[in-house]
C-alpha cells in the first residue's frame, strides 16, 4: 500500500461517474475509506435504485446525483466543485455491442466528450477508464501501452474513440488527463455477463455441465480491489498525465483452465462444454490479452497484490451468497 496515495485523497472533492457499477462502487468504497468527499453520478432510474451504493443513501458519506453522461448539461452540473473526476460510466457488454453499436458510440464517445468538456470548464482533473479490449488480439506480448489499437468489436472501437477524445483534450486544451486501462477485472459485485461470475453462478446452482464460448483465449485477470487501488494511484500521480496506464497482473490463463480453477474454488464437480451461442463472431474474438504493467509500477507505484487463486475463492464465496441475483441458465449479453 502506498501511504502517500492514501493521504492524497483525504478531504478531496471527487466525482465518480458510473459509480453504482462493479468497479465504480468498489472505487467509491475506497475513496470514502480514504477520507475523500465523494459525489456519485449514477444512471437515472425512475425507481431510484442505487445498487451497491444503497448503503450510502442514509449515511451522507456520498452525495448522489442521477443523470446520464450523454446529457452535457447534467454532466456539467455534476462536475462543478470537484477536483478530480473518475469517469467509469460506459456501455461495456461486448455481445450487445454487435446489436446496438450506435448506443455505444453515444454513451462511450459522446459521453466522454461531455465529461472532458465539463472538466475543462470547471478545472477538474480527469481519470478516464479504458479497457484492454482496445488492443485486440496481442501482436506482441506482454502488451505495453505502445501496442497498436485494434477495434475487433463495436465496443472496443467505441472505447478507442473515447480514449482518443479524452487524450485530445489534454493535447489541445492542457486538460490534466490520465487514461487507466484495466485488464479483465473480476471479483465481488461483477454481473453475470462476465465469464467468472457466469461460471460460478452455474456451479453454485448445481450445474454439472458448464457452458462456455471459446476455451482457448487467454486473459490477464486482476482482482477488483487491486484495480480500484490502481485508479487511486494513477489519479494521485502527475507523472501519469497525458498517458495511458495498464492495470494488469502480467500473467495469463486460458478460459478453459480458468473454468477448471473455478470448479476447484467452488468445491463442485462439473465438466466444461462449448456453447455455440456464446462464441463471438469470426474475426472478433480476442485470442490473447497479457499486460505489461511496468508503466503503472514506474509512474504510479502500483502493483497487484491479490493472487488469482485467492481472488477466485473470494469471488466464489460472494456469488454463492448472492445466487438469487443471477440467472444461471440464461446467457446474458
The residue-averaged pLDDT of 126-154 equals 96
Residue 189 clears pLDDT 80, i.e. is over it: yes
How does 230-246 read in b/e, with b if 16+ C-beta sit within 10 Å? bbbbbbbbeebbebbbb
Which range among 157-166, 209-218, 250-259 shows the weakest confidence by mean pLDDT? 209-218
Selected residue with higher pLDDT from 58 and 329? 58
Position 226 scores a pLDDT of 98
Burial of 83 (0-12, 13-18, 19+ CB in 10 A): middle
Residue 331: pLDDT over 50: no
| Cα distance between residue 257 and residue 215, in whole Å | 8
| Residue 188's pLDDT band (cuts 50, 70, 90) | very high
Highest-confidence range of 58-67, 197-206, 208-217, by mean pLDDT?
197-206
Greater pLDDT, 31 or 324: 31
User: Contact, 111 vs 164, CB < 8 A?
Assistant: no
| Stated pTM of the model | 0.93
Please check whether residue 199 lies inside any domain of the structure: no
Q: What is the mean pLDDT of the chain?
A: 92
- Of the residues 155, 169, 186, 223, only one is catalytic, namely 155
User: At residue 332, does pLDDT exceed 60?
Assistant: no
Q: Is residue 177 situated within a structural domain?
A: yes
Number of domains in the chain: 1
8 pLDDT higher than 90:
yes
User: What are the two backbone dihedrals, phi and then psi, of residue 165, each rounded to the nearest 5 degrees?
Assistant: -65, -45
Structural domain range at position 75: 3-186+223-249+292-306
Residue 279 has pLDDT above 80, yes or no: no
Q: How many C-beta atoms surround the C-beta of residue 58 within 10 A? A: 7
* Domain annotation covers residue 153: yes
Residue 328's pLDDT is 59
* 127 assigned to some structural domain: yes
Instruction: Say which CATH number the domain at 108 has.
Output: 3.40.50.720
Q: Is residue 75 part of a domain?
A: yes
169 is catalytic: no
Confidence of residue 140 (pLDDT cuts 50, 70, 90): very high
Note the pLDDT tens digit of each residue in 223-240. Answer: 999 999 999 999 999 999
pLDDT digits (tens, 9 = 90+) for 39-64: 999 987 765 566 788 788 777 899 99
Q: Is residue 269 part of a domain?
A: no
Beta carbons within 10 angstroms of residue 208's beta carbon? 10
Let me know if residue 18 belongs to a domain. Answer: yes
Binned at pLDDT 50, 70 and 90, residue 2 comes out as: low
- Dist. CA 19–CA 205, nearest whole Å: 29
Q: Please give the pLDDT value at position 333.
A: 42
Is residue 220 a contact partner of residue 251, using CB atoms and an 8 Å limit? yes
Kindly state the average pLDDT of the residues 192-219: 90
For residue 325 the three cell numbers come to 441475483
Amino acid at each position: 500500500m502506498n501511504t502517500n496515495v492514501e493521504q492524497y485523497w483525504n478531504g478531496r472533492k471527487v466525482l465518480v461517474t458510473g459509480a453504482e457499477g462493479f468497479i465504480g462502487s468498489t472505487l467509491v468504497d475506497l475513496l470514502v475509506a480514504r477520507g475523500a468527499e465523494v459525489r456519485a453520478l449514477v444512471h437515472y432510474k425512475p425507481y431510484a435504485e442505487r445498487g451497491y451504493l444503497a448503503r450510502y443513501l442514509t449515511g451522507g458519506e456520498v452525495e448522489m446525483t442521477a443523470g446520464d453522461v450523454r446529457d452535457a448539461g447534467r454532466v456539467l452540473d455534476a462536475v462543478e466543485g470537484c477536483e478530480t473526476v473518475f469517469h467509469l460510466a460506459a456501455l461495456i457488454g461486448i455481445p450487445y455491442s454487435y446489436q446496438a453499436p450506435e448506443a455505444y458510440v453515444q454513451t462511450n464517445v459522446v459521453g466522454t466528450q461531455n465529461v472532458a468538456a465539463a472538466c475543462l470548464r470547471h478545472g477538474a482533473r480527469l481519470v478516464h477508464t479504458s479497457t484492454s479490449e482496445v488492443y485486440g488480439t496481442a501482436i506482441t506480448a506482454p502488451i505495453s501501452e505502445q501496442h497498436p489499437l485494434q477495434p475487433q468489436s463495436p465496443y472496443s472501437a467505441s472505447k478507442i474513440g473515447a480514449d482518443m477524445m479524452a487524450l485530445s483534450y489534454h493535447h489541445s486544451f492542457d486538460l490534466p488527463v490520465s487514461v487507466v486501462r484495466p485488464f479483465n477485472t473480476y471479483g465481488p459485485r461483477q454481473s453475470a455477463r462476465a465469464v467468472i461470475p457466469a461460471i460460478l453462478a452455474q456451479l453454485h446452482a448445481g450445474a454439472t455441465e458448464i457452458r462456455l464460448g471459446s476455451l482457448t483465449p487467454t486473459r490477464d485477470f486482476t482482482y477488483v480491489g487491486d484495480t480500484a487501488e490502481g485508479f487511486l494511484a494513477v489519479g494521485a500521480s502527475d507523472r501519469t498525465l497525458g498517458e495511458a496506464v495498464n492495470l494488469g497482473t502480467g500473467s495469463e490463463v486460458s478460459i478453459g483452465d480458468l473454468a477448471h480453477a473455478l470448479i476447484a474454488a467452488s468445491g463442485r464437480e462439473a465438466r466444461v462444454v462449448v456453447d455455440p451461442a456464446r462464441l463471438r463472431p469470426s474475426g472478433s474474438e480476442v485470442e490473447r490479452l497479457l499486460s505489461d504493467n511496468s508503466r503503472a509500477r514506474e509512474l504510479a507505484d502500483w502493483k497487484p497484490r491479490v493472487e488469482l487463486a485467492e481472488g477466485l475463492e473470494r469471488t466464489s464465496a460472494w456469488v454463492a451468497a448472492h445466487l438469487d441475483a443471477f440467472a444461471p441458465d440464461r446467457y446474458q449479453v
